[in-house]
């Protein structure tokens, strides 16, 4: 059995900061916010979870926690599985860099890239590239 939806998130050295020394960075901590599509009442179930990797590392996971992956992630609570909804954008995932899992403070680190692959059937799939959003200048950095 293959997962229907798979995510890949890679951490790169921030390309817009030539003065940043990535060789001194060990673990990069990420906070993810998963929201599934709304139900009949319009309520969208959601959940936060943490991930970690290194510079030039890639995290792979899927919503079903099956098959090859580097991390298990929580499914949104009471999220009704609707294959057509996922194809139509029924949910989303936001990921940002944090200073540590215990504090969870967002930091400026514009080096995330990623994608989502949705298996339409046993013979088709489609992918969506992540939309990068630069962090605010006022945030702390690593």
Domain assignment of residue 137, yes or no = no
Q: Could you tell me the pLDDT band of residue 107, with boundaries at 50, 70 and 90? A: very high
Q: In the prediction, which pLDDT does 128 show?
A: 87
* Reported confidence tier of residue 100, pLDDT bands at 50, 70, 90: very high
pLDDT for the residue 98:
96
Residue found by looking up tokens 């139509």 in the block:
88
Mean predicted confidence (pLDDT) in 40-49: 78
Q: Which residues share a beta bridge with 114? A: 9
Residue 69, SS3 per DSSP: coil
Structural domain includes residue 136: no
Question: Is the pLDDT score of 124 beyond 80?
Answer: no
Query: The domain containing residue 45 runs over which residues?
Result: 5-17+26-129
Query: Strands (DSSP E) along the chain, which ranges?
Result: 5-11, 27-35, 46-54, 58-62, 92-98, 112-121, 124-129
Residue 87, in any domain of the structure: yes
Mean of the pLDDT values across residues 100-128? 88
Residue 94 within any structural domain of the chain: yes
Number of domains the chain is built from: 1
pLDDT of residue 3: 75
In a domain, 34, yes or no: yes
Give the per-residue pLDDT at 38. Answer: 67
pLDDT at residue 54 greater than cutoff 80: yes
Gap between the Cα atoms of 1 and 67, Å rounded: 8
| 97 found inside a domain | yes
For residue 56, being part of any structural domain is answered with yes
- Determine contact, residues 35/141, Cβ cutoff 8 Å: no
Beta-carbon count within 10 A of 48 CB: 11
For residues 68 and 62, the answer to whether their CB atoms sit within 8 Å is no
What is the model's pLDDT at position 79? 59
In the predicted structure, residue 4 carries a pLDDT above the cut 70:
yes
For position 11, what pLDDT does the model report?
Answer: 95
The residues pairing with 94 across neighbouring beta strands, listed in sequence order, are 33
Identify whether 138 is part of a domain. Answer: no
pLDDT of residue 83: 55
């Amino acid at each position: 059995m293959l997962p229907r939806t798979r995510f890949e998130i890679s951490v790169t050295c921030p390309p817009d900061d030539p003065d940043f020394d990535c060789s001194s960075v060990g673990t990069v901590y990420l906070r993810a916010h998963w929201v599934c599509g709304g139900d009949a009442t319009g309520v969208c179930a959601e959940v936060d979870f943490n991930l970690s990797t290194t510079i030039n590392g890639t995290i792979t996971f899927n919503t079903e926690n099956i098959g090859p992956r580097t991390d298990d992630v929580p499914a949104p609570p009471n999220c009704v599985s609707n294959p057509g909804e996922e194809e139509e954008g029924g949910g989303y995932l936001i990921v940002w860099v944090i200073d540590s899992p215990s504090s969870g403070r967002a930091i400026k680190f514009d080096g995330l890239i990623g994608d989502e692959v949705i298996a339409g059937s046993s013979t088709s799939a489609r992918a969506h590239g992540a939309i990068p959003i630069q962090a605010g200048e006022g945030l702390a950095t690593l």
